[in-house]
Amino acid sequence: MNQPKVKRRVGKYEVGRTIGEGTFAKVKFARNSETGDPVALKILDKEKVLKNKMAEQIRREVATMKLITHPHVIHLYEVMGSKTKIYIVLEFVTGGELFDKIVNHGRMRENEARKYFQQLINAVDYCHSRGVYHRDLKPENLLLDASGNLKVSDFGLSALSQQVRDDGLLHTACGTPNYVAPEVLNDRGYDGATADLWSCGVILFVLLAGYLPFDDSNVMNLYKKISSAEFTCPPWLSFSARKLIARFLDPNPMTRITVSEILEDEWFKKDYKPPVFDEKEDTNLDDVEAVFKDSEEYHVTEKREEQPVAMNAFELISMSKGLNLGNLFDEEFKRETRFTSRCSPSEIINKIEEAAKPLGFDVHKKNYKMRLENVKAGRKGNLNVATQVFQVAPSLHMVEVRKAKGDTLEFNKFYKNLSTCLEDVVWKTEEDMQAK
């Protein structure tokens, strides 16, 4: 039943599954073989970096991020380079995304939302003071650690192609449309700090309301609503919360609330305790300089070892809350799901392919991974779905089905359709059978 899989090692890190993908980078779960600690490994393609003239920008961002040690910002440990790749080693957190908390439990009470929002503003202020701007702040980029504390991910690494022109302003519209500030959309340049604060205001609205302040299926209508700050607060919000949101969602960046004003706001400062932490004074940036000088003597070794597909207990727990692996049939709104099967890996792959093609998907297979691409464009382009088969035990496999690109609602609809086609593949326990 065992199937061969290429195990990859980069330097001292054993590389595992993909946990995120972006335009220029892929993020993989990895483990430090010397300490056993889990990390997130962000992998950039050097050819794409050079083609888009991003090398100097990335070097500057990475060097700055390595100097930042803040309890509410994902920590950057080190940077490595090979002939074709740049590897950024980041802190790995296990509490999931704040987005999932909102999706699964709905809007938050003001006290709970305030705690997360205070942590967010504290992290944003700290990074802005060091010239680092996020430019794509949204609940999906806000992670939670094992203690339930907020961690901002990709700070300074989200918008790698951004460039500040001679006027001191950024000029590339980026980010998720619903969270983007009006001045980012009008293409006359914008200040990264005030644009980030607008996004923080949208996040606060979402935490308290459970839905977006600006939303429209027509992009032009959405842009009009954002540009005129056309939104209405729900009636259950307190007066002080509404007043604060209105100051964040001011379409004029010159009069929008500043961090010093936020810290004095009556709603914000209730029970506010800024984190106490020590800043690093002796951070070594030699690894950053070596990677971007591209000297062969500093290239990290990349090894590939063929071995059976396997998943250790730590990865299994980190991927699935409560080890409930039969959740392909859950009704929750998700961007990824998993199920277990006693079928062989090749049989699982063939069944998924047979199910996906009638749903309008092109199928690309490599080893025990698949990429399914919808030939018809949806709300956010073509929906791409990534799947991978892992071995949990000699006769038991786990299959991950994850949105790689496109609209989350469309993915939700897709996997519900897929689940009906895979009834005979998913392993059902005796408890599942009795429930039927």
Q: Which DSSP category does 27 fall into?
A: E
Which of 92-101, 135-144, 166-175 is the least confident region? 166-175
54 close to 24: Cβ distance less than 8 angstroms: yes
Q: Which of 100, 125, 136, 196 is catalytic?
A: 136
Q: Give yes or no: 136 in active site.
A: yes
- pLDDT (tens digit per residue) in 38-94: 999 988 888 888 787 777 778 877 887 887 889 999 988 988 888 888 899 999 988
The yes-or-no verdict on residue 317 having pLDDT over 70 is: no
Residue 23 pLDDT level (bands cut at 50, 70, 90): low
Q: Looking at domain 4-92, which CATH architecture does it have?
A: 2-Layer Sandwich (3.30)
Predicted local confidence at residue 160, as pLDDT: 38
- 153 by Cβ neighbours in 10 Å (0-12 / 13-18 / 19+) ranks as buried
User: What share of the chain has pLDDT > 70, as a percent?
Assistant: 81
The rounded mean pLDDT for the chain is: 80
Residue 313 pLDDT level (bands cut at 50, 70, 90): low
Predicted local confidence at residue 428, as pLDDT: 61
- Strand-strand pairing, 4-10 and 13-21: antiparallel
Predicted local confidence at residue 171, as pLDDT: 37
The yes-or-no verdict on residue 202 having pLDDT over 70 is: yes
CATH 1.10.274.10 assigned to 98-263: no
Predicted local confidence at residue 334, as pLDDT: 60
Please tell me which residue, 315 or 67, carries the higher pLDDT value: 67
Predicted local confidence at residue 316, as pLDDT: 58
329 close to 417: Cβ distance less than 8 angstroms: no
> Closest Cα partner for 182 from 139, 146, 229, 135?
229
Task: Give the whole-angstrom CA distance, residue 190 versus residue 180.
Answer: 11
DSSP 305-361: EEEE----HHHHHHHSGGG---GGG--S--SEEEEEESS-HHHHHHHHHHHHGGGTE
Predicted local confidence at residue 325, as pLDDT: 40
Predicted local confidence at residue 424, as pLDDT: 81
Task: Give the whole-angstrom CA distance, residue 304 versus residue 307.
Answer: 10
Q: Is 42 annotated as belonging to a binding site?
A: yes
Please tell me which residue, 104 or 309, carries the higher pLDDT value: 104
- CB neighbourhood size of 394 (10 A): 10
Fold agreement between 98-263 and 310-435: no
Instruction: Break the chain into its structural domains and give their ranges.
Output: 4-92, 98-263, 310-435
Which of 105-119, 168-182, 183-197 has maximum average pLDDT? 105-119
Q: Which DSSP category does 149 fall into?
A: -
Which contiguous run of DSSP H or E holds residue 99? helix 98-105
Which of 17-31, 190-204, 288-302, 311-325 is the least confident region? 311-325
Residue 162 pLDDT level (bands cut at 50, 70, 90): very low
The yes-or-no verdict on residue 333 having pLDDT over 50 is: no
Q: Dmax of the chain from CA atoms?
A: 69
Please list the alpha-helical segments (H only) found in 106-217. Answer: 110-128, 182-185, 192-209
**Mean pLDDT across 189-216:** 91
The yes-or-no verdict on residue 433 having pLDDT over 50 is: no
CATH number for the domain formed by residue range(s) 310-435: 3.30.310.80
Burial 117-126 (b: 16+ CB within 10 A, else e): bbbbbbbbbb
Predicted local confidence at residue 392, as pLDDT: 76
Predicted local confidence at residue 322, as pLDDT: 38
Predicted local confidence at residue 246, as pLDDT: 96
In degrees rounded to 5, what are phi and psi of residue 86?
Answer: -115, 130
Determine the 3-state secondary structure of 424 from DSSP.
coil
**Mean pLDDT across 291-314:** 63
Please tell me which residue, 358 or 395, carries the higher pLDDT value: 358
143 close to 97: Cβ distance less than 8 angstroms: yes
Residue 315 pLDDT level (bands cut at 50, 70, 90): low
